[in-house]
Amino acid sequence: MSEIILMGLNHKTAPVQLREALAFTEEEAFTALAEIKNLENIKETLIFSTCNRMEILFVSQECPPVDAVDSIKNFISEYKKISISQFDDSFYTYFGDDAVKHIFRVASSLDSMIVGEPQILGQVKKAFRTSVTGNSSGVILNRLMHKSFNIAKRVRRETGIGDHAVSISYAAIELANKIFSDLTTKSVMLLGAGEMAELAVEYLITNGVKNISIANRTFCNAVTLAEKFNGNPIKFEERQAMLEEVDIIISSTGATQCILNAAEVKKAMRHRKNRPLFFIDIAVPRDIDPDINKISNAYLYDIDDLNNIVNDNMEERHMEAVKGERLVEEAVVKFRRWLENLKLVPTIVDLKAKINSITEAETKKTLGHLKNLSEDDIAGIERMTRAIAGKLMHDPILFLKNIGDHRDHALYLSIARQLFNLNNINGHKADTDLH
Amino acid sequence: METANSAMIMLSVAALLYLASCATYFLYLFFQKDSMQKTALWLICAGFLLHFTAIGIATYTMGALPVKNLQQTFFIASLALAGVFIVLQYRLNLKILGVLVSPLIVIMMAAAFLMPETVSANEPALKGFWLVAHIIMIFTGEAALAMACGTGILYLIQENAIKKKKRGFFYSRLPSLDLLDSTGYSCIASGFVMLTFGLITGFIYAKSIWGKFFSWDPKEIWSMVTWLVYAALLHGRLTSGWRGKRSAIMAIIGFTILIFTFLGVNFFIGGYHEVFTR
């Protein structure tokens, strides 16, 4: 009996050194897949490797699943030149439904370090593409992966796992959007430099902010940054004067004292006719006078405030993730149903049922028009239609029963089901998305 | 009598539609599904059409706008509110506004239905172009100013959340401060213009009936006070940038005075407008 198996490690089970040692680049994955194809226990394979996880998803041949697991472990050990004992403890192995559930959870970002982070789906898709290019994916993995893309999109759409910012920089942008209605008409001033501050500026640019001024104690640095963001470098001493023009101020300098105080902002407020000002202070120690938040139409958020938002949002995501888990469970059940239908007996039963329903319906229709037939004639016609149907189906059924050990049963059964459109009679959706 | 009855039935159905819209708006408030907001808006539109037809029938049968008692006045005021709300909803993208306006409409309709229907003498003074213009403009102006008060309240809630860094139930459900502020401003500006024309037409009407523009009637005095408050607000905004919180508070104060002018004067002070609110 072939089985879907997933094994690997992730940020929860393995330290970064081990994850690094076992990571596959895209090229490595490609060559590894080609080698795995030659293993006799394995039918279909996909290697999924990111900085937080390395997982191999595969379908075993007709053999005890444990044998297939061992072949993969041996392969990893040889390919990565690392003894099994070094990674065995960190490895998890899931069979059947559990494997399906795991890949669904991974694709939906429910298993991620930051729940709901959106990159993972793209990475899963890329891994699948590699597997398809290398001809390592077959009817089962194709279906499984497409379903995982679907469930991932559904979880994102129907739950709030991706709704709120979980990074400092992004939280600042969300706030800016609650203060200003249209960021494209706003301008921003960056004081100092730093990863988080620059990231916030980048987010603002993607949100349409065009006018960016950059001030730095070292003017030269301001010029460099201004080139990067396509902004205007300004002198550090100009910062107070700029308060009349800009709307958002992001500060991240190494200053030990406040570089903007409340009196200066109050004065600027009068000149700018109380148009709102939003201060984002990412520096430690703080750059901007906390009293500024008391001025009306001026809003100040420092790093702690932003951290609080991020923590709250994290909690919210975890709550939303519970809904996501429910959707995943549902998808697992549906997938199992499809997989069970891919077996020989249900396929033959469905095939016979379909042919019988057609012949019965057509016979009934024809006999309805023919009024002058005797009972015997009717019985004869009915016998004939059944015989035609039976003879027609004889060879295909015989073929399905003797597909041969060296061939992929799932593929032939899947084709048979599509050829006769059997997936609709059970009330399931047609497998139009199989290939 | 037949037409009066059918008008009442239409008004009842309209009230039910408003109620349904209000309920849908509250669902929207909690679940934030755009389809709910759309449904709620359609329900209000349907209610408005029926309401409008009913008032139209009443006007036709009576030969004058039905503003003879407080009940009729409330029906007209809620119609104006619904109408102005619908227009604003299409012009401004402030989906949450219905959550405030729809309950207000429902309350006004309910109040109208609960009031005793007093029969008043058919005064000849209550006819004519200037009066109709006066009534329509005053009521649409008041409806716009009510909406300004509503956005002012929303602004204060949102401002408080951002300033105090305590993001509660409303934070994610309310739009940006900028949008609330500019919506409030548009409401006040349009409301003020209507109010101004309403007062002017009122003076002209007074001149044509009583021979003088201004007769120091309490309602007239308080109307002027209201007008001055809003004039001050707009002046402050244009010259010295009164916006944000201050503007929101002024909008709420202005509307409180307006409510007093609309109802309080009749109940507490009196005057010739009293006739319509018996």
> What pLDDT, in 10s, does the model give residues A285-323?
888 999 999 998 999 999 999 999 899 888 889 999 999
Token readout for B79 is 């119609």
Please tell me whether residues B104 and B217 are part of one structural domain: no
Query: Catalytic amino acids of A?
Result: 51
Contact B167 A275 (CB under 8 A): no
pLDDT bucket at A429, cuts 50 / 70 / 90: very low
Tell me whether A395 touches chain B (CB under 8 Å): no
Please tell me whether residues B2 and B92 are part of one structural domain: yes
Q: For residue B133, is pLDDT > 90?
A: no
pLDDT at B213: 78
Residues of chain B with C-beta less than 8 angstroms from the C-beta of A272: 241
Residue type, A77: S
CATH homologous superfamily for A4-158? Glutamyl-tRNA reductase, N-terminal domain (3.30.460.30)
Q: Among B122, B151, B166, which residue terminates a domain?
A: B122
Mark out chain B residues that contact chain A at CB-CB < 8 A: 158, 162-163, 165, 167, 171-172, 174-179, 182, 240-246
Q: What is the pLDDT averaged over residues A313-340?
A: 91
What CATH number is associated with residue B21? 1.20.120
Residue-wise pLDDT for A226-259, tens only, equals: 998 999 999 999 899 999 999 999 999 888 888 9
- CA-based nearest residue to A252, from A290, A212, A280: A280
Q: What is the CA angle A355-A361-A366, rounded to 5?
A: 125
Decide: A197 and A252 in contact? Cβ < 8 Å.
yes
pLDDT at B50: 92
Tell me whether A182 touches chain B (CB under 8 Å): yes
Please tell me whether residues B92 and B213 are part of one structural domain: no
| From B163, B167, B172, residue closest to A299, measured CB to CB | B163
Scanning the structure block, which residue is given the tokens 């729940």?
A115
Residues of chain A with C-beta less than 8 angstroms from the C-beta of B176: 177-181
Residue type, A357: S
pLDDT at B271: 59
More confident call, B69 vs A391: A391
Helix crossing, A409-419 with A375-401: angle to 10°?
150
Q: What is the largest CA-CA distance in chain B?
A: 60
Instruction: Give the β-pairing of A277-281 and A298-302.
Output: parallel
Decide: A26 and A131 in contact? Cβ < 8 Å.
no
- pTM for this entry: 0.73
Alpha-carbon distance of A62 to A307, in angstroms, equals 53
**Which residues lie below 8 Å from residue B89, measured CB to CB, with a gap of 6+?**
B41, B97, B98
Tell me whether A276 touches chain B (CB under 8 Å): yes
Q: For residue A187, is pLDDT > 80?
A: yes
Looking at domain A168-309, which of 3.40.50.300, 3.20.20.70, 3.60.10.10, 3.40.50.720 is its CATH number? Answer: 3.40.50.720
Contact B241 A299 (CB under 8 A): no
Closest approach of A181 to chain B, Cα-based (Å):
5
- Residue B190: give the domain boundaries: 124-278
Token readout for B13 is 């159905």
Please tell me whether residues B31 and B159 are part of one structural domain: no
Mutation target among B177, B182, B237 for the A interface, most CBs of A within 10 A:
B177
Tell me whether A296 touches chain B (CB under 8 Å): yes
Please tell me whether residues B150 and B88 are part of one structural domain: no
DSSP letters along A51-81, please?
Answer: SSEEEEEEEE-SS-HHHHHHHHHHHHHHHHT
Look over chain A and give the mean of its residue pLDDT values, rounded to a whole number: 88
pLDDT bucket at B124, cuts 50 / 70 / 90: low
Using DSSP's 3-state secondary structure scheme, residue A298 falls into strand
In chain B, how many domains are there?
2
- Catalogue the E-assigned strands of chain B: none
Please tell me whether residues B113 and B143 are part of one structural domain: no
pLDDT at B153: 93
Contact A305 B165 (CB under 8 A): yes
pLDDT at A432: 40
Share of chain A above pLDDT 70, in %: 97
pLDDT at A327: 94
Could you state, in order of their start, the residue ranges of all structural domains in chain A?
A: 4-158, 168-309, 342-419
